Amino acid sequence: MKLLERFRTQPEWQSDDPAMRASAVRELADGEQGLLGEIARQDDDPGVRRAAVERLTDAATIADLLAAGAEHDEGVLGAATTAARNLLIAAPDATNIDAVLAVLSDARDVAAVARSATTEAVSRAAAS
């Protein structure tokens, strides 16, 4: 049976090779936010998790990743922080930004949002 299992096709993001998984993550469709979030939380390789985090656009998933405290890799945490900051800066309105603002622990990131947000309401929320 193992021989037959080797011939079954599986998505490249499930490969045994971390480089292939990271490459496949970069090629996933933008609409695959649920899958990207799952990979960002569960993959064994920090490089693959970072690639998934860099593709995330879902504020709740990014906030969960930063709030969970389960991630210990500095590269993945940095990518998640950058994604959260950029998401806040580009937010079209202040709806659902509180969770993301709450997980930004560095005052410089919050100040960058307050200075650079495209929406005045987001700037005010970050400044307060």
Instruction: Look at the alpha carbons of 52, 58, 61, 66 in this order and tell me if their dihedral is positive or negative.
Output: positive
Output the pLDDT for position 107.
93
**Which pTM does this prediction carry?**
0.82
pLDDT of residue 2: 59
| Half-sphere CA count of 100, side-chain side, radius 13 A | 28
How many CB atoms lie under 10 A from the CB of residue 125? 19
Q: Please, what is the angle between helix 74-90 and helix 107-116, to 10°?
A: 20
Provide the pLDDT for residue 5.
56
Identify residue 37 by its one-letter amino acid code.
G
Low-confidence ranges of the chain (pLDDT < 70): 1-8
Q: Report pLDDT for 12.
A: 87
Looking at residue 3, what is its pLDDT? 57
